[in-house]
Amino acid sequence: MRWLRMLGWTVLVLGIFWVAGRLIFAVPPTAGRPLETALPFDGTTTLGPRAAEALAAHPGQSGVVALPDGRGALIGRLELAAGAERSIDAMYYIWHDDESGLLLLDTLRDAAERGVRVRLLLDDNGIAGMDDTLAALNAMENFSIRLFNPSTVRNPKMLGYALYPLRMNRRMHNKAFIVDGAVAIVGGRNIGNEYFAFGEEPSYLDLDVLGVGAVVTDTEAIFDEYWNSAPVLALEQVIEGTGDLTDFEAAVAAAKDSDGAVELDAGNARGPAGRMVRGGAPPMEWTDVSVVADNPDKGIGKVDRDQLMIARLGKILGEVEARLELVSAYFVPGPRGSAFFADLARAGVEVSILTNSWEATDVPMVHAGYVKYRRDLLEAGVRLYELKPVAGMPQGHDVLGPMGSSGASLHAKTFAADDARVFIGSFNFDPRSAALNCEMGFLIDSPTIAGAMSNTLLNGMARRSFQPVLQGHDMVWQDPQPDGSVKEIDHEPSLGFGDRIAVYVLNLLPIEWLL
């Protein structure tokens, strides 16, 4: 019985430390905080006339243009920030302090110094090592930073997960960049070299959308809702002091001298954002666009299931009649999702799904979750494609480990239904996006964009993907070759004996809700 007494004492001591830790590192209150909202739209700004014309010529509609190129997506953000005259509101899950992140952050600082109001909402999970820099920027006039579900323990930050495990597992995965209430960029990209094909960094395949018109007002309203929500704390509530920009300025200077920055300037073909900043009107598709987003109270677990974004997307997907093409970097449909896609396929809908292969994924645990449903989907007639890594680039999970962030792999989250409407945003079809993370995106009525995505998936990405198929009871992987032939592989590509054991063990663990 001695071991029971020892266990009891251990539990008691740990409990005391846990309670003491929550008292010492309590979550600051937000009750009574003044409400802050977006600055009113001003038609006299450079971007204003374009937005005003859009609202007048296309009442209730929005102009959209896809941003598939990583470098162009970064240039667009930099040009919009440099041309901002009244406000910049940005929210992101990850903001790296690498070259692209530093360049964009420096452009926000320049905007604040010339009188633009900058509000930056960041998830605390994605700002490692940036406390000092963010504190200094937050101390500036016109620059405010808030954090979503931040750890009240800053070093080591992971201790916050031990003190508040449920709260800390709920993250804000949203991505939005709004300038002067006139232009918004929403999509799958975070801020960092790998999202923008910057320099020599192996990059993600990803997608953003630039929008003007009615959708900007709706996106701004969602930003305000998050900015004032209970899970969000002012940076000064969790990070002490006013920081120091000395290291930041040195790092920015180095970033400006980097090969990537030189290439960025050299290849700076004026995209839609740059043309708007210069008073132009770039070609856009005018159509109906809805912003679909989770209620930020999902971050504290106070949202009913029927209010979740997954429920709303389910209703949208439920209207599919002929074709569904889905791209999801981390695809773990769960029993209900698997049944949903399988039922569509059995009803005669052509369902095609692209996700990362074992070779390309940067989160092997998620791939293990996907494997559980692969056979059932194939038996129902769903076509699966597993993206191969780019030749000569490192594999994501080999480089950065099971919880890492990106090698040469897929990161986009989008679907096209019936070649008529398309969703582009942050939502992965996995349990974490469905139940834990806050997500958002644009739902666009656009045969043009939906058709382009369908063509990219079926005629482009399919040619650089493994396609698992069933031959009787056996599963084989068809591997398209550069010469047009197809090689068959009788086992999952690059999944060695040790990997198979790891996948099997991961499938036994009750962790799917966290994937």
Which of the residues are catalytic?
173, 175, 180, 411, 413, 418
DSSP category for residue 408? S
How far apart are the C-alpha atoms of 308 and 293, rounded to whole Å? Answer: 8
CA 365 to chain centre: 18
Number of H helices, E strands in the chain: 18, 19
Structure-block tokens of residue 385: 């494609």
User: Cβ neighbours of residue 446 under 8 Å, at least 6 residues apart?
Assistant: 64, 285, 287, 420, 421, 422
**What is the b/e burial string over 254-274, where b = at least 16 CB atoms within 10 angstroms of the residue's CB?**
ebbebebbeebeeeeebbbbb
Q: What is the DSSP string of 252-297?
A: HHHHHTSHHHHHHHHT----HHHHHHTT-----EEE-EEEEE--GG
Strand order in the sheet with 289-293: 289-293, 440-445, 421-425, 413-417, 323-328, 350-356, 383-387, 465-471, 474-480, 486-489
Pair 488, 476: CB distance under 8 Å:
yes
Cα gap 304→290, rounded to integer Å: 21
Amino acid type, 195 = Y
Sign of CA dihedral 38, 43, 44, 50: positive
Q: Which two tokens stand for residue 287?
A: 């159509």
Nearest-angstrom CA–CA distance, 203 and 431: 25
68-107: burial string, b at 16+ Cβ within 10 Å, e else: bbbbbbbbbbbbbbbbbbbbbbbbbbbbbbbbbbbbbbbb
Bridge partner list, 90: 120, 177
What does residue 178 show for φ and ψ, rounded to 5 degrees?
-125, 130
Report how far residue 425's alpha carbon sits from residue 186's, in angstroms, rounded to the nearest whole number: 6
